[in-house]
């Protein structure tokens, strides 16, 4: 008779998310999501494209020449305290480039049409698109927050192609039924919708039918 050995129970999915920020307008969406994930206790693996750094400079006043300092300032020393890992865009040998690296999934927020096109066509030309390709091949959650207007047929076809592969499309389209009073409220709504799709609890916006109490 074959010997039956006990197997150790499977461990829970690592509390790690990969976040990508690209050169689309709306860098504040990505920064806000990162802050929320860190506050919720997740370890964050962050990759930012060169165009993403340019947008951070233009929209939020970040100094792209002092990247580590900017990240530590924005995220309360999470980088130096090892609560967050920053991966340079060209580090194709980084942990997140391998399917053996376990994580809960990846969000690209905001996602430019260029990055979206590369992912849709399997062009792993940098660490961000390679990490997204890993999510697809490993069957892990991949969420994209495209930010562009107007959209032409190629944009739409690329989104449809990815959606049919199970990629979650969450375009940066804020709602107004919750009565936003500030830009922060608008940003919080969109980030909250992203976290809903990630399955993470939050209180970033008032839901439809939710009382004020």
* Residue 20 three-state SS: strand
147 is in an annotated binding site: yes
Q: What superfamily in CATH does domain 16-198 come from?
A: Flavin prenyltransferase-like (3.40.50.1950)
49 is in an annotated binding site: yes
pLDDT above 90 coverage of the chain, percent: 88
Residue 75 has pLDDT above 70, yes or no: yes
**Phi and psi angles of residue 199, each rounded to the nearest 5 degrees, phi first:** 75, 30
106 is in an annotated binding site: no
Whether this prediction's pTM lies above 0.85 is answered by yes
54 is in an annotated binding site: no
2-11, 81-90, 133-142, 191-200: the lowest-pLDDT one: 2-11
What confidence tens digit (pLDDT) does each residue in 147-183 have? 999 999 999 999 999 999 999 999 999 999 889 999 9
10 burial type by CB count under 10 A (0-12 exposed, 13-18 middle, 19+ buried): exposed
198 is in an annotated binding site: no
List the domain boundaries for the chain.
16-198
DSSP 89-150: TT-TTSGGGSTTS--SEEEEEEE-HHHHHHHHTT---SHHHHHHHHHHHHT--EEEEE--SS
Residue 7 has pLDDT above 50, yes or no: no
| Torsion, CA 160, CA 185, CA 27, CA 30, rounded to 10 | -70
pLDDT above 70 coverage of the chain, percent: 92
Residue 14 has pLDDT above 60, yes or no: no
């Amino acid at each position: 008779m074959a010997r039956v050995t006990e197997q150790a129970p499977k461990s829970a999915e690592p509390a790690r998310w990969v976040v990508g920020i690209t050169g689309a307008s709306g860098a504040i969406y990505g920064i806000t999501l990162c802050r929320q994930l860190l506050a919720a206790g997740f370890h964050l693996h962050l990759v930012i494209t060169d165009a993403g750094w340019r947008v951070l400079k233009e929209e939020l006043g970040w100094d792209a020449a002092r990247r580590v300092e900017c990240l530590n300032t924005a995220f309360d020393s999470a980088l130096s305290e090892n609560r967050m890992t920053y991966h340079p865009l060209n580090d194709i040998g980084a942990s997140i480039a391998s399917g053996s690296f376990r994580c809960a999934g990846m969000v690209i927020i905001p996602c430019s049409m260029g990055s979206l096109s590369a992912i849709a066509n399997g062009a792993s030309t940098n660490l961000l698109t390679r990490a997204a390709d890993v999510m697809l091949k490993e069957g892990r959650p991949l969420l994209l927050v495209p930010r562009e207007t107007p959209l032409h047929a190629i944009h739409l076809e690329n989104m449809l192609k990815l959606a049919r592969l199970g990629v979650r499309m969450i375009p940066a389209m804020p709602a107004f039924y919750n009565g936003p009073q500030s830009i922060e409220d608008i940003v919080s709504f969109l980030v909250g919708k992203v976290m809903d799709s990630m399955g993470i609890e939050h209180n970033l916006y008032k839901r439809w039918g939710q009382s004020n109490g």
